[in-house]
Amino acid sequence: MVLASMDSPAIRRLSAQIVNRIAAGEVIERPAAAVKELVENALDAGARRIEVIIAGGGIERIEVIDDGNGIAHGDLALAVENHATSKLTDEALVRINTLGFRGEALPSIGAAARLTLISRPPGQDAAYKITVAGGAVGPVVPCAGAAGTRAIVEDLFYATPARRKFLRTPRAEGEAAMRAVWRLALSAPQTGFRLVTDERVMFDMPPQDEAPRVAALFGRDTARTMLSLDAERDGVRLTGLAGPASLSRATAGLQSFVVNGRPVLDPLLKLSLRLAYRDVIPQGRHPVAALRLSLPDDALDVNVHPAKTELRFADANGVRSLVMGAIGQLLVRPISLATAPMAPPSGFKSSGIMMRDQAARGFAEAELGLLTPPAARPVVRSDPAETNYPLGAAVAQILETYVLAVAADGALVIIDQHAAHERLTEERLRGEFEAGAVLTQALLLPVVVDLPPYEAAGLRAHAPALRRLGMEIEAFGPGAVLVRGLPAALKNPDAAALLHDLAAEFADTGTAISLEARLDAALARLACHRSIRAGRRLTVEEMNALLRAMEQTPRAATCSHGRPTFLKLSKAELEKMFGRRG
């Protein structure tokens, strides 16, 4: 038998107050979690109207007001006790039909902050109030109050300073809280939502159908191009809206998943969506979708994590197949023919690729003595004066995307015109930015860009930083910004497309990103919108100018996203490809 050392501390039971404070960290790890839990309580209470008021990022104050069923005065004290709930009727944890069911939210909030609950069920003569501060519960007392419940959270984590020390800035915490309300509002379109952040109304929506709710929260311009879907397999139904292949974003911010009425961030669903679009959108871009999944209660386990945002499906493969199959069928619709009509290209097919005005055709015509009008003749020539440069002399443009050049040593150089010009533009903008002189071109007619409310708020918050990049914007209602000026170097880009991508770059993705890192990403995004696009026909003079500029620009071997801007095939490599040498 091993005896404890005389110096070992005695084992003791933790007080209920300390236990609650420790447990609170699992449920309420930041203000957004407190907002989510309180709004879910309001939805479970049958609210038709919910107002959320946030101050100081939710650290200072959170207020959630609803017109739901309320809490009887005799139950208020029980409501703030741990693991006390009116929502769980199935003790087998199979048929869970409410958003909350663990009885942890209110006591966890009360253990970490100052919580005030004011509630009045319909038919009760007066409202009653209870307060909890750092786990200490006050008495239930009568007070004035409308039908429904008003929850007030103040000084979050004052009772757990270690947790409070690791919170992010009030702005970042407020953006995360706003995202939480955004997801809940998408999950419950039948409920009206009003969100106020630091005395600014971010959105105010009545009860409505799903499509107008998506339009209000994704942005009308985005929602207008989304396609509806409705598919079912083995008792599992998938409905909602998904963007066409032409609609993608720089981040996954415009993706919403609702399972049996519960907004989730489930990895299986996110992966299924990404795989469904894998072959139709560029790498690094993200699809836009608002998906709703309905399935039997016994096919789903929602009791995986205290946050209740991850799920476990009984038939995960079936769910994945349904999502990928339904969206795959959606994407093969001939909608692209209507949204982006193109005339059939001239030329001929080689290995399944349509090649227009390509160099091979020009060489053949020259050999056969065939003449084509100068405007239609492909570029096929080499300027001897350009040959001695590292990237050589341009001889042709193929597929209106790639420039072919011949170097002094006879090597073949293939240049991606868009990737190359993207790097040149970014370096020019970066030089202007570091010199504090990014020139702004005022727009003759300001442009109004419609955005999801949280993205519009993010852009407005970063307006001073954008001004350093040569962009002049201002607020234009909760879900839009007015663009008055753009960087002069961009030469009239699509203001709406640019703002959508910049909004995504500046959006809070849940990781700590410095302002300089955000500005660096924004510079790359600006460069991408300015650069020569694939499909633009260049003259030989333009192609050679591009090559000479690349040779003089730092980091010109890759574009802003790390992809190569050119490939060089030596004489030996060409001979090996044609079997001339081993």
The pairing of beta strand 440-450 with beta strand 480-487: antiparallel
Handedness of CA 314, 316, 319, 322 (dihedral sign): negative
Which is higher by pLDDT, 430 or 36? Answer: 36
pLDDT, residue 21, reads 58
- Distance between CA 214 and CA 202 in Å, rounded? 15
Q: What is the mean pLDDT of residues 503-521?
A: 57
Read off the amino acid at residue 580: R
Instruction: State phi, psi for 508 to the nearest 5 degrees.
Output: -75, 120
Three-class DSSP category at 335:
helix
CATH code: domain 438-530 is: 3.30.1370.100
CATH class held by domain 16-207:
alpha beta
What pLDDT score does 193 carry? 98
Q: What is the pLDDT of residue 368?
A: 28
Does residue 241 have a pLDDT over 80?
A: yes
Helix, strand, coil fractions of the chain, as percent rounded to 5: 35, 25, 40
Model confidence at 57, pLDDT cuts 50, 70, 90, reads very high
Instruction: Give dist(CA 207, CA 189) in Å, integer.
Output: 6
Residue 194 has pLDDT above 90, yes or no: yes
**SS3 state of residue 551:** helix
| Position 74, amino acid | G
Give the span between the Cα atoms of 551 and 394, in whole angstroms.
Answer: 14
Query: What pLDDT, on a 0 to 100 scale, did the predictor assign at position 52?
Result: 98
Interval 88-108 mean pLDDT: 57
Confidence of residue 463 (pLDDT cuts 50, 70, 90): confident
User: Which residues, other chains included, contact 46 with Cβ-Cβ below 8 Å and sequence gap of 6+?
Assistant: 68, 69
DSSP assignment string, 434-475: HTT---EEEEEEEEEEE--HHHHHHHHHTHHHHHHTT-EEEE
The residue type found at 506 is F
Vertex 99 angle, CA 64 and 454, to 5°: 50
Token pair, residue 130, equals 């209870």
Percent of the chain with pLDDT over 90: 36
Task: Identify the residue whose tokens are 């955005």.
Answer: 451
Residue 11: C-alpha distances to residues 4, 6, 8, 15, 266 (Å): 11, 13, 9, 13, 40
Q: What is the distance between the alpha carbons of residues 413 and 390, in angstroms, rounded to a whole number?
A: 10
pLDDT on residue 191: 97
Q: How confident is the model at residue 13 (pLDDT cuts 50, 70, 90)?
A: low
* Average pLDDT estimate for 53-57: 97
Which pLDDT band, with edges at 50, 70 and 90, does 327 fall under? very high
pLDDT band at residue 356 using 50, 70 and 90 as cut-offs? very low
Q: Does residue 533 carry a pLDDT above 60?
A: no
Dig out the tokens for 455 from the structure: 């993205």
The pLDDT, as a whole number, for residue 360 is 28
Tell me the average pLDDT of the chain: 79
The type of residue at 259 is V
| pLDDT band (50, 70, 90) for residue 76 | very high
Q: Fold for domain 348-420+535-577?
A: formyl-coa transferase, domain 3 (3.30.1540)
Residues 6+ apart with CB under 8 A from 182: 217, 452, 453, 454
pLDDT band for 420, please (50, 70, 90 cuts).
confident
- Please give the residue that has the higher pLDDT: either 159 or 60: 60
* Range with top average pLDDT, 84-98, 254-268, 339-353: 254-268
Q: Write the burial class of residue 125 (CB in 10 Å: 0-12 exposed, 13-18 middle, 19+ buried).
A: exposed
Query: CA angle, 57 as apex, 128 and 514 as ends, to 5°?
Result: 165
Q: Report the pLDDT value the prediction gives residue 517, as an integer from 0 to 100.
A: 57
Residue pLDDT, tens place only, 276-297: 888 777 778 899 999 999 999 8
Higher pLDDT residue, 494 or 335? 494
At residue 365, the pLDDT reads: 31
Cβ–Cβ under 8 Å, residues 456 and 504: no
Least reliable range by pLDDT among 37-41, 130-134, 190-194, 429-433: 429-433
Helices (H), 208-264: 210-218, 220-224
Please give the DSSP secondary-structure letter assigned to residue 534: T
Residue for token digits 């970066």?
430
Sign of the alpha-carbon torsion through 446, 451, 455, 456: positive
Q: Up-side HSE of residue 214: CA atoms within 13 Å toward CB?
A: 26
* CATH class entry, domain 211-335: alpha beta
Angle at 235 between CA 234 and CA 240, to 5 degrees: 110
Model pLDDT, residue 364: 28
Question: Which residues pair with residue 245 across a beta bridge?
Answer: none
At 357-397, the pLDDT tens digits run 333 233 223 322 323 333 333 444 565 666 678 888 999 99
pLDDT higher than threshold 80 for residue 186: yes
Burial of 141 (0-12, 13-18, 19+ CB in 10 A): exposed
Q: How many CB atoms lie within 10 A of CB 461?
A: 13
Position 54 scores a pLDDT of 97
Strands 148-154 and 114-120: antiparallel
Distance CA 134, CA 80 (A): 12
Local confidence band at 349 (pLDDT 50, 70, 90 cut-offs):
very low
3-state secondary structure 373-416: CCCCCCCCCCCHHHCCCCCCEEEEEECCCEEEEECCCCCEEEEE
Angle at alpha carbon of residue 297, lines to 291 and 298, rounded to 5°: 125
Asked if 418 and 458 count as a contact pair (C-beta separation under 8 A), the reply is no
The whole-model pTM stands at 0.67
CA distance 171 to 57: 6
Angle, in degrees to the nearest 10, between helices 210-218 and 170-187: 160
Looking at per-residue confidence, does 536 or 222 come out higher?
222
How far is the C-alpha of 258 from the C-alpha of 266, rounded, in Å?
10
Residue 189 predicted with pLDDT over 90: yes
pLDDT of residue 348: 25
Vertex 97 angle, CA 91 and 99, to 5°: 105
Q: What DSSP character marks residue 478?
A: T
pLDDT value, residue 383: 57
Would you list the domain boundaries of the chain? 16-207, 211-335, 348-420+535-577, 438-530
Across residues 232-245, what is the average pLDDT?
A: 92
